[in-house]
């Protein structure tokens, strides 16, 4: 097998980075949406009722997602580094695919935790059912969005990686 020209390696790198950059833009938009909408509704909500806790949790998720998105943007390298090797491309590809798979597993755990909190809220004598239900519902929303996001990102990256293999073979 002959070595690939640097231009082709750079093209593969840039295609993956473009996909990751778009994913980071989606995550940052989701974070901003949570911060703005739930931040506004949180200020108007009564602390004794479920919407207060639902929007409060969404604001917290918005902060975390914003930090992750901006950290990812800070680490983003759309231009291929000099001396890029095929092994480096595949290592980065595998790392990113595995990262999104791991995150999808965590997203399922978030959703299941939301169900657990809902169950706790329904227990007779629960001291803070509104808080448990609000937090649980926020976990459903956040976990559900992130599960779809991570699954789509993994699928797109995996498809892209398979296209590279077809090209190389």
Which residue, 26, 44, 66, 49, is CA-closest to 137? 49
Residue 163: inside a domain: yes
Q: pLDDT band for 50, please (50, 70, 90 cuts).
A: very high
| Residue range(s) defining the domain that contains residue 62 | 6-75+86-168
Of 31-40, 54-63, 123-132, 160-169, the one with minimum mean pLDDT is: 160-169
Position 169 pLDDT exceeds 70:
no
Q: Tell whether the model's pLDDT for residue 9 goes beyond 90.
A: no
Q: Is residue 34 part of a domain?
A: yes
| Residue at 44 is within a domain | yes
Per-residue pLDDT for 33 more than 90? yes
CA distances, 148 to each of 53, 117, 157 (Å): 24, 22, 14
Query: In the predicted model, is pLDDT for residue 1 greater than 60?
Result: no
* Domain contains 1: no
Residue 81 lies in a domain: no
Residue 2 confidence (pLDDT) above 70: no
| Tally of domains within the chain | 1
100 found inside a domain: yes
Q: What is the mean pLDDT of the chain?
A: 92
Q: Is residue 80 part of a domain?
A: no
């Amino acid at each position: 097998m002959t070595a690939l020209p640097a231009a082709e390696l750079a093209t593969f790198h840039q295609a993956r980075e473009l996909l990751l950059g778009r994913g980071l833009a989606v995550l940052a938009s989701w974070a901003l949406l949570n911060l703005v909408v739930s931040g506004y509704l949180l200020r108007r909500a009564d602390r004794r009722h479920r919407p207060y806790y639902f929007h409060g949790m969404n604001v917290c998720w918005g902060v975390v997602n914003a930090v992750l998105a901006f950290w990812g943007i800070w680490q983003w390298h759309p231009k291929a580094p000099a001396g890029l090797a095929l092994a480096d491309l595949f290592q980065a590809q595998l790392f990113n695919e595995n990262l999104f798979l791991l995150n999808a597993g965590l997203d399922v755990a978030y959703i299941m935790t939301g169900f657990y909190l809902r169950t706790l809220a329904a227990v007779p004598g629960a001291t803070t059912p509104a808080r448990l239900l609000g937090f649980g519902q926020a976990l459903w929303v956040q976990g559900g969005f992130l599960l779809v996001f991570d699954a789509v990102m993994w699928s797109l990256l995996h498809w892209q990686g398979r296209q590279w293999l077809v090209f190389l073979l």
